[in-house]
């Protein structure tokens, strides 16, 4: 787990569109590389190496001025393509005066960055997340720093059997219901899909509060992983009204987006949004607040795990029955890591 190499050739979430108003910038580390994200006056977001070519000053300490970002130390200016456009008190700017620019795509409220070989950065590969643009849904987003390796967060999200333990006081619910529910995991061409269906079950209190269920429900948890994000659809309809045959419009839906971007080997950016379909009584604030509380509980767990792993990185771990989805995920990740290392990405 520790020492795992990063997957490089994919679109990672770098942030939320709402993180950057025009003229704003922010410094972040992705895959051990320091990056400045900034939005020009006319709205274009760029991602550059966060280090001036001159004296290593972080550009994220500088200012955005129109279409350039200016180093705060001696005033060198750079465009979104990394090209230095001005060196004060010097007439000529040499061609070699440029810093690394990372491909960046802004779409559906998300900023996507490509940390690997820029030649492979095909915008058509940016993951699609139409929920953020669907008027049926209301959503909010967050950015949580996690003091743990990115694979620990993947594990966490792919195996929801931890709910009755870690989240006993939030979304946990009845442990016996969790254990008696079969978990099916299916390998996809570039992903893993885990499904748990709980037909004709008693609704948890939060579901009753949010959606006003009065009787038993057909409930689902559907988790889809693709590198390196996870979509989780949980929800319920009144029992026997067709939820498992695809008729869910009349029910209660929570759509979780989980962007997982390694910061360093032991820290991770966790960009998540939670969307719920807008019900008669409006958007349930409580759903969002409880989600945030729940993910804070996960943060604490991952940090504790990482402490133990860092203390003894070679120590073996064992899998248990409920790890089926996580195991499929790790197999896929291992395959992709091998492909990246052997340069066989073309065949992917």
Give the neighbor-by-neighbor strand order of the sheet with 137-146: 137-146, 267-277, 252-264, 229-238, 217-226, 191-201, 184-188
Q: How far is residue 88's CA from residue 301's CA, in Å, rounded to a whole number?
A: 50
Say if CB 221 and CB 195 are below 8 A apart: yes
CB of 61 to a copy of itself, least distance (A): 6
Stretch that binds a copy of itself, among 9-17, 68-76, 230-238, 269-277 (CB under 8 A): 68-76
- Angle in degrees, CA 329, 237, 322, rounded to 5: 25
User: Using CB under 8 A, which of 165, 184, 331, 338 touches a copy of itself?
Assistant: 165
Asked if residue 89 binds a copy of itself (CB under 8 A), the reply is yes
Asked if residue 322 binds a copy of itself (CB under 8 A), the reply is yes
Q: How far is residue 211's CA from residue 63's CA, in Å, rounded to a whole number?
A: 47
The 3-state DSSP class for residue 27 equals: strand
Asked if residue 278 binds a copy of itself (CB under 8 A), the reply is no
What's CA 122's distance to the chain center, in Å?
A: 19
Q: How far is residue 1's CA from residue 337's CA, in Å, rounded to a whole number?
A: 13
Identify the bridge partners of residue 193 per DSSP, sorted by sequence position.
Answer: 186, 224
The residue (of 57 and 283) whose beta carbon lies closer to a copy of itself is 57
Asked if residue 67 binds a copy of itself (CB under 8 A), the reply is no
User: Using CB under 8 A, which of 301, 337, 339, 345 touches a copy of itself?
Assistant: 301
Asked if residue 26 binds a copy of itself (CB under 8 A), the reply is no
Q: How far is residue 81's CA from residue 29's CA, in Å, rounded to a whole number?
A: 19
Asked if residue 311 binds a copy of itself (CB under 8 A), the reply is yes
Inter-helix orientation angle 150-158/324-342, to 10°: 140
Asked if residue 315 binds a copy of itself (CB under 8 A), the reply is yes
Asked if residue 101 binds a copy of itself (CB under 8 A), the reply is no
User: Using CB under 8 A, which of 13, 45, 64, 97 touches a copy of itself?
Assistant: 97
Say if CB 120 and CB 9 are below 8 A apart: yes
Asked if residue 167 binds a copy of itself (CB under 8 A), the reply is no
Site for a copy of itself in 130-159 (CB under 8 A): 152, 155, 159
Residue ranges that bind a copy of itself, judged by CB under 8 A: 1, 34, 50-51, 53-58, 61, 70-76, 87-90, 96-97, 152, 155, 159, 161-162, 164-166, 175, 178-179, 301, 304-305, 307-309, 311-312, 315, 317-322
């Amino acid at each position: 787990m520790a020492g795992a190499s990063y997957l490089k050739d994919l679109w990672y979430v770098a942030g939320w569109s709402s993180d950057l108003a025009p003229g704003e910038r922010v410094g972040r580390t992705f895959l051990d590389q320091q990056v400045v994200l900034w939005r020009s006056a006319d709205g274009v977001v760029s991602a550059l190496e966060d280090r001036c070519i001159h004296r290593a000053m972080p550009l994220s300490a500088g200012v955005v001025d129109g279409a350039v970002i200016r180093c705060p130390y001696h005033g060198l200016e750079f465009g979104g393509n990394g090209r230095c456009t001005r060196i004060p008190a010097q007439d000529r700017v040499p061609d070699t005066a440029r810093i690394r620019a990372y491909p960046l795509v802004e779409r559906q409220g998300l900023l996507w960055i490509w940390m690997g070989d820029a030649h492979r950065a095909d915008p058509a590969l940016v993951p699609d997340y139409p929920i953020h643009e669907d008027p049926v849904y209301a959503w909010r987003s967050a950015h949580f720093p996690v003091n743990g390796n990115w694979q620990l967060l993947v594990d966490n999200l792919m195996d929801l059997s931890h709910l009755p333990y870690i989240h006993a006081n939030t979304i946990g619910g009845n442990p016996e219901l969790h254990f008696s529910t079969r978990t099916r995991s299916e390998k996809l061409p570039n992903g893993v899909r885990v499904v748990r269906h709980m037909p004709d079950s008693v609704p948890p209190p939060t579901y009753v509060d949010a959606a006003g269920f009065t009787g038993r429900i057909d409930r689902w948890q559907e988790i889809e992983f693709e590198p390196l994000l996870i979509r989780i659809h949980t929800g319920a309809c009144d029992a026997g009204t067709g939820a498992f045959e695809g008729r869910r419009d009349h029910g209660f839906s929570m759509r979780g987006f989980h962007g997982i971007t390694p910061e360093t080997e032991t820290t991770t950016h966790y960009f998540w949004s939670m969307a719920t379909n807008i019900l008669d009584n409006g958007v349930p604030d409580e759903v969002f607040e409880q989600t945030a509380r729940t993910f804070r509980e996960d943060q604490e767990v991952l940090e504790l795990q990482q402490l133990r792993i860092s203390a003894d990185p070679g120590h073996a771990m064992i899998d248990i029955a409920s790890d089926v989805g996580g195991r499929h995920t790790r197999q896929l990740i291992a395959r992709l890591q091998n492909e990246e290392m052997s340069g066989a990405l073309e065949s992917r």
